[in-house]
Each structure stands twice: as C-alpha cells, then as structure tokens.
Chains A and B, each alone.
Chain A
Amino acid sequence: MVELRKTLRICMVGLRKIIITPRFYLAYLWVFFDFAPAIGAIRRFSSSVGMNCSPWVFALLTEDSGKQLFIILGALLLFCDAPFLHANSSWQILRAGRNNWFWGNMLYIWLLSFVYAVGISILTVIAMFPMVEWNTGWGKILGSLAQTSAASQFGSEQFSYAIMVQYSPPAAMVLTIAAVWMNAVLVGVCNYTLNFYLKKGTGNVISVVLGLSPLLIVRLAKFTMGYYFSPPLWMSLANYKWKGYGYGISFGYAYGVLGGLILICVVCSWKGIRKRDLDFSDEV
C-alpha cells in the first residue's frame, strides 16, 4: 500500500535536490535563449509603436516546431538522470520502501513538469518587461503581428491569427501550458522507464527523437498524418481541430494518447522497480 506522507517526502527530497543543480536553471536558460529573438522582435515592434504587449505570447510562440524541440530538450535536461537511482536513493528506499519511493518519483515528475511548464510561460512575460501590460484580450501588438506585415519587418514570426480567433487568451494559455506539462511528463516517464530497463541514456535518445519529430514532420517531410504521431506538435493550438471543424487532431485524441503513453510508461516502470535489481549510480 502507498503511504502518502512518505511519497510526498520522497517527492520533496527530489525537488530540493534539483533546485540546487545547474541543470534546473540551464533548462530555463535553454528555452529562454530560443525564445529571446522572437520576444526581442515583439519588444522592438512594441517600442516603435509606443504600445505595450499583452502577456499571452506564450500560447502563440509554441507554434514553431523549433521551439517545440527546445521545450522538449529543456524537459530532458530536468529528467536526464531518471530513474533517479543515486547513492542517496538507497537510503531513501530503505526508509520509504520501493513502492513509496517509486510513487514519490512519479509525483516529482508531475510536479517538476508543472513548475517547468508554468515557469517557461512566465519567462516569456518577464522577457517582455517593461513593454508588457495587463490585457484580457490578445491586444493590438499581438493582433498586428498576426495580421499585418509588421512581423516580417521587425524580424518576428507571423503568429497564428486562427488561434486568436478561436480561443480567448486565458483559455489558450491554460491549454498550451497543459500540453507542455503533459509533454514534459511524457519525457520524464519515458526516460524513467527506458533508462531503467535498457542501457542508461536510451530514454534520453528517445526523448531527443521525440523533440525532433515536429521538425522532421513539418519542415522536412510535410507529412500531414505525422501530426497524429508527434506529441510535441500538440503544444500548438494551431494544430487542433476547432469545435470539430477543420483539419488536425482533436483535444480528446491528444490527451488520450498522451495519457495512454504516460500510463504505459508508469505501469512498466512500476513493475520494474518492484521486481528488478536496483543499480545505484553517481549523481548527474
């Protein structure tokens, strides 16, 4: 039986461990460097027209497959040491038991992924300072960058007007953060399972392939069916059907597949942790 208190404690030890490692900050820095040129272009446009931008840019930035790759690789930086079998873990397992320790790790993956998804969305707002102001709508700056040639003049990306028409900004933010969160969890549990069962680093390689999949599908192959097989593409609201109309995947499909893949990884790794030898290695 799982003891909730021990599970929470294991999760907390994991979080305390990660926040003092350079990897945690490197993950944000990594994503920030990728987002910086696009945000810089918005700031230049904002200052040239003398208007501030609304804080919803994150929901539009994730449309680019290059940024999807960087988000996945950022998550990989956080979870590259899964299944977290370090020398310190042996003492945790002795105190908590294998079962509680495993569920503590799963909780850690979910919580850290959430912090990561929310963190990078906040980062886009911080990077806009001081050219940012509260606005419940998309605002004129983002609207202009989606509908006019201002984007190309200021070196910005052409944002999806379809997203602006179909979703309110808070809804778009929540849905985008949820998709980034689920993708980060997938990277975490995929690394956990594959690094545990196979040679260490296998999960990391698969995560890189996962991150590269949008680029391969969108930029190289232009393989429309591929949208159904690349979870990182689901971080962009532009790739979904809207109210059952148009092309693309549905939310039900995306979250069903993501949930299913995560569940498969969790069940496999749970069986492994319970039955197999635990091989402790050095800290990453």
Chain B
Amino acid sequence: MENMIEVRNVTKKFQEYKALDDITLTFEKGKIHGVIGRNGSGKTVLFKCICGFLKVDKGEIFIEGKKLGRDIEAPPDAGVIIENPGFLPGYNGFQNLSFLAGIKKKISKNDIKGVLERVGLDAGSNKHVGKYSLGMKQRLGIAQAIMEEPSLLILDEPMNGLDNQGVEEVRMLLMKLKEEGKTILLASHNKEDISVLCDTVMEFDKGKILEKR
C-alpha cells in the first residue's frame, strides 16, 4: 500500500536532550496508526515535526512524496489536534470554525454547521467557547480537524476530557473516517482506544521506537 508519511532517520534535539533519536517509520494511507508511550516519550514531538511546527535536526520527512521544509511548509491537507484545543473564548463554536475555514475557503457555512452536529455540538448555540466544558472544547477541536475533510488526521489525545459516551462517539467517528479512506495518526494513553481502533501500533520510549506491531 502507498505511504502517506515517510519519516527517515529523524533526530530532534532540545539542547542536548534527544526528543527523537534517529527515527525511521512509515504510515500507510487509509489506516489508523496508533502511537503510544509515556509522557515525554516523543509522540507529540513527532507529530509537531510532521506538521512542520518543529524543524528536524537530522533526517527527512515526506508527506505523499513531498519533502517537508523543501517542497512543502506543512502537510497540505491535514487536520490536527495537538495538545490543548485553542479557540477564541469570546466567540461561539460556529464563529471559531468560520474564522479558520475562512483561511482556505474550501467549505460553506452549512458544511460547518454539519460538522458541528456530526461531533455532537449544537450548531445554533450562541454559547461562547470560554464557557464550554473540556469535553465540548475537545469535540470542537475534532470538528476543526475534520471540517475541511482532510486526507490526513493527526490527533494527539483526542479523547481527553470526553465522557464515556463522547469517547464512544469519537471512536465511531474515527472508524467512519477510516472507511472514507482517511489516514489517521492517533496518540493516546488509553490502551483500549488503541486496541479497538488502530491497524498498526508504535510504542515510543525516550525518543526511540520501542515496538512496532
């Protein structure tokens, strides 16, 4: 199967500390790839490098054959949640998504309303994001990631703050997105999420891949 992402001998250092140590891996298209590991193991750093937020010290990253930093600045068609979802607290969910959607202008207002309903949020609500619970913010973060129907989703702990029903709904959503042919990178502390959802699993420890299965 064709590769969506290819990471070749990537090392990322913060001063002397190696957050990623000569990592080589590939993520195939159309699959859910789980990335697990303790805090500080390198999962988030890997995701940030793939997104182009962090520059690698050594090695190369290719997104659909295009070299990051040379051919492209960032994955051209990706939806991302890394760390805490950051929204403008004085605006409602719809407005927040509209501001972001306005940058690419790929989707309509109705599409935004549709995606809000898809993640279980009220599209007509005027409630400001500042008054949202952590779970609602997380749902809005997921809506932000999937709204432009990207072919690649990079999700770092997307279940954070969700109740059991929310976790179940997001799992169903991810399965559906996989059926639609999306490639999903999923970092989670929850082993059940990984075992239920993922086609491949990589365990990270101290910036190295401990296990692939």
Residues of A within 8 A of B (CB): 5-6, 9-10, 12-13, 16-17, 20-21, 86-99, 275-278, 280, 283
Contact = CB atoms under 8 A, between A and B. Distances in A.
A2 to B, nearest CB: 12
Interface centre among B52, B78, B84, B100 (most CB of A within 10 A): B100
Contacts of A86: 86
B1 interface: no
Interface in B106-151: 144
A95 B103 contact: yes
Contacts of A95: 100, 103-104
A276 B103 contact: no
Contact of A20 (B82, B84, B90, B144): B90
B137 to A, nearest CB: 10
Nearest to A99: B73
A283 B88 CA distance: 9
Contacts of A98: 52, 73-74
Interface residues of B, number: 27
A277 B86 contact: no
A132 to B, nearest CB: 33
Interface in B147-183: none
A138 B105 CA distance: 50
B55 interface: yes
B85 interface: yes
Given A13-B99, A95-B103, A98-B74, A90 B51 contact: yes
Contact of A87 (B54, B84, B100, B103): B84
A88 B103 CA distance: 13
Contacts of B75: 94
B74 A97 contact: yes
A21 B91 CA distance: 11
A88 B54 contact: no
B73 A88 contact: no
